[in-house]
Homo-oligomer: A and B are copies of this chain.
Amino acid sequence: MAWKDHVRRVEPYTPGEQPNKPSMVKLNTNECPYPPAPGVAKAAAEFDADCLRLYPDPNAGVLVRELAAYYQVDPDQVFVGVGSDDVLATAFLTFFNSDKPILFPDITYSFYSVWADVYRIPYQRPALDEQFRIRKEDYYQENGGVVFPNPNAPTGVLMPLSEVEDILRHNPDVVVIVDEAYIDFGGFSALELVDRYENLLVVQTFSKSRAMAGMRIGFAIGSAELIRAMQDVRFSINSYTMNQPALRIGVEAVRDAAYFKQTLTKITATREEAKRRLAELGFTFPDSKANFIFAAHRTVPAKEIFEALKKEDIYVRYFDAPRIDNYLRITVGTDAQMEKLYEVLGKILA
């Protein structure tokens, strides 16, 4: 049938598996091992289901204002979306319309090339160096836009803020997106540069540090002009993306700064302990500033370890891709989950 000739064909992207067994240790999708702030459960319990008959605020005002207050920017500098994937996809569609290729690392968040493909955006992927670091000079060439995560995924490697600024200084004519999904776990955010670089878009998410992967909330902060352009595109696709529960309950994840910091302290402490324990077990890894560790074993192939862990209901992430096919991305769980991991790894590697 001729209609098939005009279907937008894409390389079907398969999301990571989301197993759901009571006994499992789930360290495969970088979720937070601790529940959201107590205010979240309270707001959920008090949620008035009758209000669901009404459309939500298309401007997501309550959430935008809360984020603006927390990050000390104006509300018109804040964009919220259905997870940072929605925010990033909207930014790609809005800003990457040049004939020149956009630039992002060869090893990075796998969605960048998928969005580029679906929106027909040309791209080039400069290689990370041997220590999995982004080489800032690779981003000084002419391009149609720049995007990279900081810390990078799935490596966990943090770029110093001074180097982020070097990239910005060399790219005044394109939009530069810094994807900070993992910044809260020990990095320095580029948010402080937003007022000096009107072409800088910083993207963050509630899915990791704020324990809200299930609510689908991401946000971007940048100059009012960048944000307005994204809003115009969003309103041209779906005016009401954030549902009532996301607005009313999500806002509580921002309000409780003390709980937020306490969660981050626990996760980073567990991560640092994990570095010691995994090294003892014979793993090597770049130093991670994220809530995961990207580790290769000195002698046993990653895929073998991945399969053996799965048999014991321990789920980590394995990428069958060039340069990284001997690594495992291990999310930092609770101390108890990690002890279970070390114990099983000890047996597997014995």
Binding site for B on A (CB under 8 A): 1-4, 6-15, 18, 26, 29, 31-36, 40-41, 44-45, 47, 49-58, 82-83, 85-86, 89, 93-98, 114-115, 117-118, 144-145, 172-175, 198-199, 207, 211-216, 225, 229, 231-233, 235-246, 249
Are A3 and B199 in contact (CB-based, < 8 A)? yes
Query: Whole-angstrom distance between the alpha carbons of A29 and B29 in the complex?
Result: 39
* A117 CA to B233 CA, complexed, in Å: 10
Nearest CB to that of A56 among chain B residues? B214
Contact across chains for A237 and B89 when beta carbons are under 8 A apart: yes
Chain A at the B interface: SS class: loop
Question: A95 vs B94: C-alpha distance in the bound complex, in angstroms?
Answer: 21
Is there contact, CB below 8 Å, between A236 and B1?
no
Q: If the complex has contacts A18-B57, A235-B12, A235-B14, are A241 and B82 also in contact, measured as CB distance less than 8 A?
A: yes
- Stoichiometry, as copies per complex, reads 2
Residues of B within 8 Å of A214, CB to CB, are: 51-56, 243-244
Q: How far is the CB of A46 from chain B (nearest CB, A)?
A: 9
Q: With contacts A173-B1, A199-B3, A240-B85 known, is A52 near B29, CB below 8 A?
A: no
Q: List B contacts of A57 (CB < 8 A).
A: 18
Q: Knowing that A10-B232, A33-B53, A245-B246 are A-B contacts, what are 12 other residue pairs whose CB atoms are under 8 Å apart, sorted by A's residue number? A: A1-B199, A6-B95, A6-B96, A7-B97, A8-B93, A12-B232, A32-B53, A45-B49, A55-B213, A56-B216, A89-B237, A216-B240
Q: Contact between A50 and B41 (Cβ–Cβ < 8 Å)?
A: yes
A343 CB to closest chain B CB (Å) equals 23
Q: Report which of B8, B36, B89 forms a contact with A50, defined as CB distance below 8 A.
A: B36
30 A/B residue pairs, CB under 8 Å, sorted by A? A1-B172, A1-B173, A1-B199, A2-B173, A6-B97, A8-B233, A12-B235, A15-B235, A18-B55, A29-B55, A31-B53, A35-B53, A36-B52, A40-B49, A45-B45, A47-B47, A52-B212, A52-B214, A52-B215, A53-B212, A82-B82, A82-B240, A82-B243, A83-B240, A85-B239, A85-B240, A114-B236, A118-B233, A213-B240, A243-B245
What chain B residues lie within 8 Å of A145 (beta carbons)? 6
With A12-B235, A229-B7, A238-B82 as contacts: A2 and B174 at CB distance below 8 Å: yes
Q: Contact: B41 with A49, CB < 8 Å?
A: yes
CB proximity of A334 to chain B, nearest CB, Å: 11
Across the two chains, which residue of chain B brings its CB closest to A208?
Answer: B53
Taking a contact as CB atoms under 8 Å apart, the answer to whether A13 and B213 are in contact is no
